[in-house]
Structures are given as structure tokens and as C-alpha cells.
Amino acid sequence: MSNTAINLRQKLSLFEECWSPRVIAEMNDYQFKLVKVMGEFVWHAHADTDEVFIVVEGEMTLEFRDKTVPLAAGEMYVVPRGTEHRPVATRECSVMLVEPRGVVNTGDAGGAYTAPDNVWV
Amino acid sequence: MSNTAINLRQKLSLFEECWSPRVIAEMNDYQFKLVKVMGEFVWHAHADTDEVFIVVEGEMTLEFRDKTVPLAAGEMYVVPRGTEHRPVATRECSVMLVEPRGVVNTGDAGGAYTAPDNVWV
């Protein structure tokens, strides 16, 4: 049990790679991850879980097959389980994800953007 | 499934009461709640779950029996299950809590600060 808080900006300063989530905390069997996003990710879904996006810095868009949801710093969105989505950002944007331990970033899609799971920063 | 993001500051503008968590989102069987804190809460623990504090605006302190953890905006802390803690703030501070659906704010302590569960804003 830590003696200090987790500072999101300090953690973000420790890595540069985009689309590569870093775990910063666990609550029960859930993880809080920071990820930097820029450009267009792959369309994918997570069949078994909802996924929360909380924008820490910058702006991004969550594209769905039937709509587009803009997200700015201080805003969040819950992607329902099984729902195809694609994160997109025109400039680098920093996001906190909340989801169960073991969720892979590309969900059912796989491919080149698939990042190692459970990498802490 | 909403067409728009959840804006934390907009949600905070909709209530004034302190120590009365308001649910703003659900992810699986977990809830995201906003709460305004000022003064000293009661010592309590949650026997069955960890609890996450993310400070949105202001500053607060998490007191434990063996230490004190300051938290400012952009910082978070995971209170382990079963750990006695007391949130304290000298000025009003706005916090996002993440915890399983059904967690009562005063945990095992009860008393006058116990707020209704599952109130959405």
C-alpha cells in the first residue's frame, strides 16, 4: 500500500509510445491504464466487457459504426461490451482506460497495433 | 448508449451537497461517482472491495491509521479493501470514486454521513 498518490501527468511523462497502454493501478480485478493516442486505431470490440475512456489531456474521438463521440480533457465515455469502436486523434491525446485485468487493446481484431498486456509504468 | 461524452465539471455543477456521491456512469457492475468533500468524514472501511479516489478539482487528504496521503487534482489512490480510512479536505474538493455497484459511502461505520446509494446525476 503506497505512501503517495499516483500522479497521472507524472506517469504520462515516463513513456512516449502511442497505442501502448501502461497500467498504473489495480482495484480488485480491474486495472487503470494510461495510453497516448494519435492517428487512427483499428476497429475492434471487447466481447466480454465494457471499457471506460477518461481523457486526461487533449482531445480524441470515439468512432462507432453509427455515430461519432468527441471527447475532451475532463470527459469520459463507457464503450459497451461487444460494441465496435475505433479511437481516433488528430493530435496526441492522453487517456486513462478502466477495464478488467487481461483486456487486450485490440480486442477481437488483433493485428499490428496489439500491445503487450499488463505493462506497468 | 449515449451520443455524447460525460463531462465531469458539467456533472459537478448539478449538485452542491458534500459527502453525497452521485453516480455518473456504470462499467459492468462497477460505478463511477462524483462526490464533493469538505471537512472530516467518518473513519470507515469497505470489507469487500478496494475503492478508488481520483481528484478532479481541489485537494484532499486520505487519512489512514498509520499514514496520511495528500491528493491533488490529477492524482488518484486505491484504498485497499478492509483498510480504515478517513477523507479530509480543508476546502471543497471534487472527487471521482470508482467502486462496485452497491458500495455505501460510510462502509462499516454507518452514522449520520451515510448517503443514499445509487443516486444518479
Burial (0-12, 13-18, 19+ Cβ within 10 Å), B63: middle
pTM: 0.98
Closest CA of chain A from B55, distance in Å: 10
- Which pLDDT score, from 0 to 100, does residue B100 have? 97
Closest CA of chain A from B74, distance in Å: 6
- Which pLDDT score, from 0 to 100, does residue B1 have? 85
Q: Write the pLDDT tens digit of every residue in B82-91.
A: 999 999 999 9
* Cβ atoms within 10 Å, residue A52: 24
Averaged pLDDT for residues B27-38 = 98
Q: Model confidence at B116, in pLDDT bands (50, 70, 90)?
A: very high
Q: Write the pLDDT tens digit of every residue in B94-108.
A: 999 999 999 999 999
Q: Please identify which residue in the block is written with the cell numbers 455515430.
A: A67
Q: Model confidence at B67, in pLDDT bands (50, 70, 90)?
A: very high
- Which pLDDT score, from 0 to 100, does residue A65 have? 98
Q: Is A5 in contact with B80 (Cβ distance < 8 A)?
A: no
SS3 assignment for chain B: CCCCCEEHHHHHCCCCCECCCEEEEEECCEEEEEEEEEEECCCECCCCCCEEEEEEECEEEEEECCCEEEEECCEEEEECCCCCEEEEEEEEEEEEEEEECCCCCCCCCCCCCCCCCCCEC
ipTM of the prediction greater than 0.90, yes or no: yes
Contact B69, A4 (CB under 8 A): yes
3-class state of residue A10 by DSSP: helix
**Residue B104's Cα: distance from chain center in Å?**
10
Class of domain B23-100: mainly beta
Instruction: Compute the distance between CA of residue B54 and CA of residue B34 in angstroms, rounded to an integer.
Output: 9
Question: Which amino acid does the sequence have at A51?
Answer: E
Q: Which of B5, B9, B56 sits opposite A77 (nearest CB)?
A: B5
CATH 2.60.40.650 assigned to domain A15-100? The reply is no
3-class state of residue A11 by DSSP: helix
CA angle, corner B94, sides to B93 and B98, nearest 5? 130
Closest CA of chain B from A17, distance in Å: 21
Q: Is A2 in contact with B26 (Cβ distance < 8 A)?
A: no
Contact B63, B51 (CB under 8 A): no
Residue ranges in chain A whose pLDDT is less than 50: none
Residue of A nearest to B60 (CA): A5
Q: Please identify which residue in the block is written with the cell numbers 469502436.
A: A85
Cell digits for B15? 449538485
Residue of A nearest to B67 (CA): A3
Query: Of B35, B84, B80, B88, which is closest to residue B59 (Cα–Cα)?
Result: B88
Counted residue by residue, chain B has a size of 121
Half-sphere exposure of B21 (CA within 13 A, CB side): 25
Write the DSSP symbol of residue A12: H
